[in-house]
Each structure stands twice: as C-alpha cells, then as structure tokens.
Amino acid sequence: MGDKIFYTTVFVSLLIAIIIIYFVVSIILYHRRYIRLQRERITAEITILENERKRIATDLHDSAGPLLSTVKLILNSIDVQNEHDKKIIEKSSRYIDETITNLRQISHNLLPNALERKGLVEATREFIQQVSEQQSLAIELRCSGDIQVQPEKAIHIFRIIQEIVQNTLKHAKASQLRISLSQDDGQLLLLVRENGAGFDVKKVKSTSAGLGMKSLEIRTDIMHGSLAIESAPGQGTHYCIKIPA
C-alpha cells in the first residue's frame, strides 16, 4: 500500500511538473512568434514607406521637374513688347527655377540618388556636405576599409545616420559630430559621437513620445543588429550600432 501511494504521488507530481514546464515553454514560443510577427509587420511597413518615398522622389524628379522646365522654356519664348509683361515673365521664370530647385531638394531628401548610384558612403558624404553648408555643426565622416552593404540595409543605415544628425541638430546643441563606419568579421560598425548637451537615456526611452529614438531601434532591429546609446547630461552622446553584414 505504501509503495502504491509513493508511486502514485511521484506520477502525479511528474504530470504537474510537465504541465508547468509546458506552460513556460509554450509562453516562450508564443512570445517569440509574436516578436517575429511584429518584426515582419514593421519591416513590411517600413519597406512600403521607403518604396512610396522612392516613387514620390522619382515622380518629382522625372515628371514634375522636366515639365516645369518645359513651362519655363515656353514662357521665355513668348514674344512680348510691353515692359511690364516682360518683368512678369522674368519673375515667373525665377519662381519656376526656385520651384525646380525645391523639388530637387525634396526629391533628394526623400531618397538620395547617390545611395542607389554610388552607395552608402558617398550618399552619407553628400548628405553631410549639405547639412554642413546650412548648419554650424562640424560633421566628420571616417570610413575604414571598403564598406560593402546590401542595398536593402544601406537605406536603413542611411536613415539611421540622417536621424542621428537631425536629433543632434534639433536637441543636442553640439558643435562637433563624428561618424565612423567600419566593416570587419562580417559585421558593420557604425559609431557616432557628438559633444552636445547629452541626455538621460533611460528617462528619454521611457518617457519620450517622439519617433526619433524608436526609429533608430526599429531600423536596427529589422537588420538584426544591436544599438547602444551612451549619454549623460553635459557629456555628449555616443551611438554604437552593430549590424551583421
């Protein structure tokens, strides 16, 4: 009788242990699946967004731009005698030129041509040059070795750099920003350091409603990479992003 009780107790305990283990394993598996689905959903959303940006940029560059140039040509070919009319045509022509320049700028901001034609490093260089012309921030780009990145990852890395530069301009009050790109052991390393006001990373992550930081995290996550941000008030900010190539 004693043996029967012992073995039955052991058996029932074993069943309950299996139930508990199954509970833990099952919730872990569902959670992993949920994370995977979330990542797939966000990747799809960002891909749609980038494709749409590309389409708009191409339309602006290839359709609206030439059309406006044609309008300008036709306008200039009008033979007018009246001085007042001539001035109006000149003024309109200047507006059309401005509009064409603005359209090119918008198209470039949406998707830099250099990214597709010359790759990540050249596109970043072009972007830095543009920012430096308009802002007082001194930006330095260092690349060690030959940087080879897949096009679908290049766009995310470029957007990350854009986001960090924009954040620095908006919030950091920094005078210097250094960007370093290197590739080794099948891993792309993007290091960014600025000497701005700095911030409390944990606090900003938990309270910020802005999309900047989230965008960095999401794009890094999509590429299965890791993002580390080190900052403290008054000590500038360091970004370290590792991406498997």
Q: What residue ranges bind another protein (CB under 8 A)?
A: 1, 4-5, 8-9, 11-12, 15-16, 18-19, 22-23, 26-27, 30-31, 33-34
Rounded distance, CA 127 to CA 158, Å?
Answer: 9
Closer by beta carbon to another protein, 33 or else 86: 33
- Per DSSP, the residues of 44-98 read HHHHHHHHHHHHHHHHIIIIIHHHHHHHHHHHHH-----HHHHHHHHHHHHHHHH
Closer by beta carbon to another protein, 1 or else 74: 1
Closer by beta carbon to another protein, 24 or else 78: 24
- At closest approach, how far in Å is the CB of 4 from another protein? 6
Rounded distance, CA 83 to CA 73, Å?
Answer: 19
Indicate left, alpha or beta for 55 from its phi (over 0: left) and psi (-120 to 50: alpha).
Answer: alpha
Closer by beta carbon to another protein, 8 or else 226: 8
- At closest approach, how far in Å is the CB of 226 from another protein? 24
- At closest approach, how far in Å is the CB of 74 from another protein? 54
Closer by beta carbon to another protein, 28 or else 228: 28
- At closest approach, how far in Å is the CB of 210 from another protein? 23
What are the tokens at 137? 């921030």
Count of Cβ atoms closer than 10 Å to residue 217 Cβ: 14
Closer by beta carbon to another protein, 18 or else 73: 18
- At closest approach, how far in Å is the CB of 25 from another protein? 9
Closer by beta carbon to another protein, 19 or else 78: 19
Rounded distance, CA 177 to CA 217, Å?
Answer: 20
- At closest approach, how far in Å is the CB of 147 from another protein? 39
Helix axis angle for 151-167 and 212-222, nearest 10°, is 160
Q: 114: which residues sit within 8 A by CB, 6+ positions away?
A: 122, 123, 126
Report strand pairing: 176-184 vs 138-144. Answer: parallel
- At closest approach, how far in Å is the CB of 49 from another protein? 24
